[in-house]
Amino acid sequence: MEILEKINAADLQNKLSDGTYVLFFTADWCPDCRFIKPAMPQIEEEYKDYTFIQVDRDENIKLCQELGIMGIPSFLVYRDGKESARLVNKDRKTKEEVEHFLNQAV
């Protein structure tokens, strides 16, 4: 999984302009993020049509504010530069919940 460097919303838009992406918003200190992280390689393997990008909330706090990411772990799906789905809240997420979200995002 690619780890996103510090970036602003405009540059992110350019980066995601072609293709289908899942942004995984997380932070090292977040217990709910640590809960889902071990399942992420399996999720990536199951959803090969997506490019997964991990976004450190603390490194990209301004970006999170611009995108309305108020809780982590959270997930955004982008298709050809446009947001097409979001799973954004402060709740712990299971592998099954993330898979259900990605199935609905298709």
Domain of residue 82, CATH code: 3.40.30.10
pTM for the predicted model, two decimal places: 0.91
**From the candidates 4, 33, 53, 77, which is the catalytic residue?**
33
Q: Indicate if 30 belongs to the active site.
A: yes
Ranges of residues in the chain with a pLDDT under 50 are none
The pLDDT value recorded for residue 90 is 80
The pLDDT value recorded for residue 60 is 94
Number of domains in the chain: 1
DSSP-derived pairing of the beta strands 74-79 and 82-87: antiparallel
**From the candidates 22, 23, 30, 72, which is the catalytic residue?**
30
Domain that holds residue 19: 2-105
Question: Do residues 37 and 22 touch, judged by C-beta distance below 8 A?
Answer: no
